[in-house]
């Protein structure tokens, strides 16, 4: 009989039961990635086994357990958080360094598992590229890789089931391109690559392609499903009961049949002999790819929908601009309340989340937050992915800096913004760091660059003023942002930690964040983040050039600026930005919020 645990069990007890299950399966090691069958960044509860087993709540991390070792690999964004959450669990913090070319947990397994033994992992949540790297490394050492073992079904009591929330339509006017037209675009791409079939597992790709949304993943308006697209029809594999009949009928009129979620692998196995299947090896799991018959040719390329959804249409860009005005109004209302209440009533990091969420919820088209609000005061702000909890949070009092990173999901767009404000008296060091980060934000915001440049190459523009000051930060400078979709989307990413592949090229219509920072552990953290839109700049004999349009509409607190560090052109940019913020947000606010907006957008 398999040992099972009460849900209140401790982390060491859970690790012990896992080891028992490993022994029964003759596994020397078990690998637990942060992934689901769709390789999502944020996971439905059913696939949050790494968190259940280790206690670490960050969104990225890889757990490895052997008979006498348990280690969690995370990058520098999570070191402080992981160190605190792993304390007393017996799980070691394994620090991943930026710029590593191979996965360090794979190297560790290859070096520490004895030849002739076996490493287990659930292939249903293992990416193809990772599976290949893992298999190559282990095989070279005579270690077997087993991908047929999901031990959580054995050891995890009350494991969450598949999400049951209903799927709904993202309709016009917010959806400006029809489902049928998007399918036509995909099929043209398929034909160019000689493929009769295309399999999609990525949840935001599916939501975009089918003009559908859901609530299966916190903060991301997506739903758990797979799709198999043919030249004449398509199948959507989704849990029973999630698609209302009227919506299923509408999908059928566009040639899309709704089928059981578990049927995706069988559909791949039934593909006609000699046909060609288009897949994105970065966005499909090893388990699903194994279902494809050997007599089906596979073409590997980035999902066409990844490129198409990243390039917002002019109509979508207009909706996003209007959304930014509403979001800016919510922020103005919040900050007006905050400055008025500070010192007069108790405000904690949790209070900030509650009040800011409430301000956004009053705005038209608001659906949910786009991620969990990060409100970090002083030392807490030095953890880029800090999250206040009931058990551990700070009260906003005394002196220092408060960092607030937040965003909303609206029917007409997705927002993501970080601002830092002074509390009490701040010092020259605070102002120096703040101004240095601001210079990085402005440097990239003002850049003009060739169309098609690989986005990681732009990272150094934002870092240059920060490097010049002898500082740096351990995260990327920018990520793509969806249109009422995931707050993190590709293919573009502004980060020198990312490979400068051809598919990361910057194209017109993309929305990306610009968010450099400086973090001083135990003291404070500063990050200034705006979203920007790629727009045509000019055409010259040297080619086509793009520039950024700043979309985010909220003042940057000039009380934190050391004016002596700004050049005249930088002052002009900041003044022009504040003039735009005031002009576009003012019509949407009144009273204290309008007065606050007028004060915080005064020219320097």
Tell me the pLDDT tens digit for each residue of 232-241.
999 999 999 9
The CA distance from 385 to 376, in Å, is 9
* Sheet order of strands, 234-238 included: 256-260, 234-238, 225-230, 197-200, 276-279, 297-300
Give the whole-number percent of the chain exceeding pLDDT 90. 90
Predicted local distance difference test score (pLDDT) of residue 4: 56
Pairing status of strand 29-32 against strand 62-66 = antiparallel
Determine contact, residues 495/324, Cβ cutoff 8 Å. no
**For residue 173, cis peptide bond before it (omega within 30 degrees of 0):** yes
Predicted local distance difference test score (pLDDT) of residue 341: 96
Let me know the angle formed at the C-alpha of 576 by 571 and 577, rounded to the nearest 5 degrees.
100
Q: Which two tokens stand for residue 83?
A: 């160190």
Count Cα atoms within 13 angstroms, Cβ side, for 25.
28
Question: Is residue 349's pLDDT more than 50?
Answer: yes
CA dihedral 555, 557, 559, 563 (to 10 degrees): -80
pLDDT tens digit sequence for 499-552: 999 999 999 999 999 999 999 999 999 999 999 999 999 999 999 999 999 999
Q: Return the number of other C-beta atoms located less than 10 Å from residue 255's C-beta.
A: 15
Residue range 118-125: mean pLDDT, rounded: 95
* String of DSSP letters for 536-599: EEEEETTEEEEEEEE-------GGG--GGG--HHHHHHHHHHHHHHHHHHGGG--HHHHHHHHH
The CA distance from 184 to 232, in Å, is 10
* pLDDT-derived band at 3, boundaries 50, 70, 90: low
Question: Is residue 152's pLDDT more than 60?
Answer: yes
The CA distance from 489 to 482, in Å, is 6
Question: Is residue 101's pLDDT more than 50?
Answer: no
Q: Which two tokens stand for residue 326?
A: 């509403």
Determine contact, residues 543/567, Cβ cutoff 8 Å. no
Q: Residue 291: what are its φ and ψ, rounded to 5°?
A: -75, -15
Task: Indicate the length of the chain as a whole number.
Answer: 604
Q: Which residues contact 245 (CB under 8 A, 6 or more apart)?
A: none
Determine contact, residues 524/382, Cβ cutoff 8 Å. yes
Determine contact, residues 30/121, Cβ cutoff 8 Å. yes
Predicted local distance difference test score (pLDDT) of residue 98: 58
Domains along the chain with CATH numbers: 11-155 (3.40.350.10), 168-308 (3.40.350.10), 311-600 (3.90.230.10)
Determine contact, residues 408/327, Cβ cutoff 8 Å. yes
Containing 405, the helix (H) or strand (E) segment is strand 400-406
- The rounded Cα 65 to chain-centroid distance in angstroms is 26
Residue among 527, 513, 215 nearest 385 (CA): 527
Q: Which range has the worst mean pLDDT, 3-12, 390-399, 450-459, 516-525?
A: 3-12
- 137 CB-contact burial (10 Å; exposed 0-12 / middle 13-18 / buried 19+): buried
Per-chain mean pLDDT for the chain: 95
- The rounded Cα 296 to chain-centroid distance in angstroms is 33
* String of DSSP letters for 26-76: T-SEEEE-S--TT--SS--GGG-HHHHHH---SS--EEEEESS-EEEEE-G
Q: Which two tokens stand for residue 97?
A: 């360094």
Give the whole-number percent of the chain exceeding pLDDT 70. 98
Containing 156, the helix (H) or strand (E) segment is none
Determine contact, residues 581/553, Cβ cutoff 8 Å. yes
Cα–Cα distances (Å) from 409 to 55, 327, 593, in that order, read 28, 10, 22
- Predicted TM-score (pTM) of this structure: 0.91
pLDDT tens digit sequence for 165-223: 999 999 999 999 999 999 999 999 999 999 999 999 999 999 999 999 999 999 999 99
């Amino acid at each position: 009989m398999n040992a099972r645990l009460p849900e209140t069990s401790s982390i060491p007890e859970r690790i012990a039961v896992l080891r028992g299950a490993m022994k029964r399966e003759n596994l020397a090691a078990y690998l637990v990635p942060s992934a689901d069958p769709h390789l999502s960044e944020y996971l439905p509860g059913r696939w949050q086994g790494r968190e259940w087993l280790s206690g670490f709540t960050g969104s990225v991390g890889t757990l490895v357990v052997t008979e006498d070792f348990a280690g969690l690999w995370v990058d520098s964004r999570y070191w402080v958080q992981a160190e605190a959450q792993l304390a007393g669990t017996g799980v070691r913090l394994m620090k991943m360094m930026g710029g590593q070319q191979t996965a360090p947990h794979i190297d560790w397994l290859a070096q520490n598992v004895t030849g002739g033994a076996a490493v287990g992992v659930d292939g249903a949540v293992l990416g193809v590229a990772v599976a290949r790297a893992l298999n190559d490394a282990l095989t070279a050492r005579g270690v077997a890789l087993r991908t047929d073992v999901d031990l959580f079904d054995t050891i995890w009591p009350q494991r969450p089931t598949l999400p049951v929330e209903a799927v709904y339509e993202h309709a016009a006017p917010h959806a400006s391109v029809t489902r049928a037209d998007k399918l036509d675009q995909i099929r043209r791409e398929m034909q160019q690559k000689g493929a009769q079939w295309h399999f999609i597992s990525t949840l935001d790709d599916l939501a975009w392609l089918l003009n559908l949304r859901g609530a299966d993943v916190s903060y991301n308006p997506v739903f758990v499903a797979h799709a198999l697209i043919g030249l004449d029809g398509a199948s959507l594999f989704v849990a029973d009961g999630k698609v209302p009949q009227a919506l299923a009928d509408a999908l059928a009129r566009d040639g899309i049949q709704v089928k059981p979620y578990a049927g995706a692998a069988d559909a791949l196995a039934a593909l006609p002999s000699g046909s060609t299947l288009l897949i994105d090896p970065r966005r499909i799991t090893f388990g699903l790819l194994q279902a494809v018959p050997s007599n089906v040719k596979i073409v590997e390329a980035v999902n066409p929908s990844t490129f198409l959804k990243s390039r917002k249409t002019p109509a979508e860009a207009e909706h996003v601009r209007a959304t930014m005005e509403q979001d800016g109004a919510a922020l103005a209302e919040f900050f007006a309340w905050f400055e008025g209440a500070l010192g007069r009533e108790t405000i904690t990091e949790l209070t900030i989340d509650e009040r800011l969420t409430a301000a956004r919820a009053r705005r038209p088209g608001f659906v949910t937050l786009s991620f969990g609000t990060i409100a970090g005061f002083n030392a807490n702000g030095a953890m880029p992915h800090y999250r206040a909890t009931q058990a551990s949070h700070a009260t906003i009092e005394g002196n220092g800096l408060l960092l607030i990173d937040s965003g909303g999901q609206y029917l007409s767009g997705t927002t993501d913004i970080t601002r830092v404000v002074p509390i009490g008296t701040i010092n020259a060091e605070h102002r120096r760091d703040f101004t240095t980060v601001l210079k990085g934000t402005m440097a990239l915001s003002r850049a003009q660059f060739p169309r098609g440049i690989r986005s990681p190459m732009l990272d150094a523009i934002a870092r240059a003023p920060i490097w010049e000051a002898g500082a740096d930060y351990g995260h990327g400078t920018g990520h793509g942002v969806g249109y009422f979709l995931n707050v993190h989307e590709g293919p573009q990413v502004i980060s020198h930690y990312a490979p400068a592949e051809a598919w990361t090229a910057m194209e017109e219509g993309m929305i990306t964040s610009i968010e450099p920072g400086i973090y001083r552990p135990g003291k404070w953290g500063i990050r200034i983040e705006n979203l920007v839109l790629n727009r045509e700049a000019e055409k010259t004999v040297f080619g086509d050039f793009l520039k950024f349009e700043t979309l985010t509409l909220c003042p940057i607190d000039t009380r934190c600026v050391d004016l002596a560090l700004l050049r005249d052109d930088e002052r002009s940019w900041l003044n022009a930005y504040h003039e735009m913020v005031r002009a576009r947000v003012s019509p949407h606010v009144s009273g204290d919020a309008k007065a606050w907006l007028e004060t915080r957008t005064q020219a320097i």
